[in-house]
Amino acid sequence: MVKEEQFISDAVEEIRREAGDRRVVMALSGGVDSSVCAALAARAIGDRLEPIYVDTGLMRKGETERISQVFGNLHLHVVSAGDEFLDALKGVRDPEAKRKVIGERFIRVFEREARRTGARALLQGTIYPDRIESEGGIKSHHNVGGMPLHMEFEKVIEPLRDLYKDEVRALAGALGLPPEIQHRMPFPGPGLAVRVIGEVSRENIEVVREANWIVEDEIVEQFNPWQCFAALLGLGTGVKGDNRVHGWVVAVRAVNSRDGMTADPLHIPWDVLDRIASRITSEIPSVARVVYDITPKPPATIEYE
Ligand code: XMP
């Protein structure tokens, strides 16, 4: 605890010093990193913090409502940009191209909002593994480097830049954030789009959102994994009633990890997997098949794209 208290007072001091008398804008996603950042900045600069939440249309079920509730006291500004994102993604199939489109769209929305607030400094919840993976060129994180910000901020403040996820979680506890935030599973910046192989559409995002909800409902509380989710692998054949039908193939993934760099699949008991398969195929009629992914990272990644 002493270590966390020291970090908090140093970070508050750093944010205050870096911000000077500027307004500071940040993208709050509701994940533990950006939430810890927001809590530190609220202590440091109070209502000179301008937190913005962009609803990309690629978020989990109930996410936007939940975040508005938890961070209502920070004057969180919610931007509904789902149509903008889904329109920009039409026809885009390549995984890296999808990430780029989403990252660029996000930056454009964010720039608009930053201009509106008149902020001259930017706060980001970048943590150490984000920097390593971006520098190594493994993938483009939309929240670090890579993406062109077509506006000049006088300052970019990244108070968590040297921390691992478990250290950020400890800070969340010390800052008094609700346990649901402290223990939140990581959720990728590009959202559900990296959990649909190939082109995303309003329809398939809705399917993966529902499947994801069921997987979290069955696994999170009981097994407390690093991450668990559903992904759409494509279409396959199934049988509904007397007919052979084409339906979605849903992959269920549940892994444990320390920092996301390596991961091991959870040994989920058969009865739980059984219930997940039966719930997904009955609650989402367009799904024909459910599979459980048993691949560690490496060689697989945690997400599908
Ligand atoms: P992979 O799929 O590379 O994921 O094994 C490792 C961890 O990173 C998360 N992830 C992301 N987080 N922006 C993020 O903020 C991204 O673009 C992104 N891609 C993957 C993933 O959920 C896992 O925890």
Q: pLDDT per residue over 158-193, tens digit each?
A: 999 999 988 999 999 999 999 989 988 989 989 999
Residue 252 has pLDDT above 90, yes or no: yes
Tell me, what DSSP letter sits at residue 192? Answer: G
- In this predicted structure, the answer to whether residue 148 has a pLDDT above a threshold of 70 is no
Residue 287 near residue 196 (C-beta atoms within 8 A): no
User: Using a 6 Å cutoff on CB, does residue 212 contact ligand 1?
Assistant: no
> Does residue 186 have its Cβ closer than 6 Å to ligand 1?
yes
Stretch among 70-74, 123-127, 159-163 having the lowest mean pLDDT: 70-74
pLDDT over threshold 70, residue 147: no
Q: Extract the tokens encoding 105.
A: 């769209």
Q: Measure the CA–CA gap between 268 and 279, rounded to whole angstroms.
A: 16
Which residues face 235 on adjacent strands?
248
Phi, psi of 42 (to 5 degrees): -65, -40
Q: What share of the chain is helix, strand, coil (3-state, %, to 5)?
A: 45, 20, 35
Tell me how far apart the alpha carbons of residues 255 and 28 are, in angstroms, rounded to a whole number: 25
Chain centre to alpha carbon of residue 155: 24
Mean pLDDT of the 2-16 span: 95
For the chain, the average pLDDT equals: 92
pTM exceeding 0.85: yes
What pLDDT does 222 receive?
Answer: 97
Residue 43 has pLDDT above 80, yes or no: yes
Out of 302, 304, 305, mutate this one to test ligand 1's pocket (max ligand atoms within 8 Å of CB): namely: 302
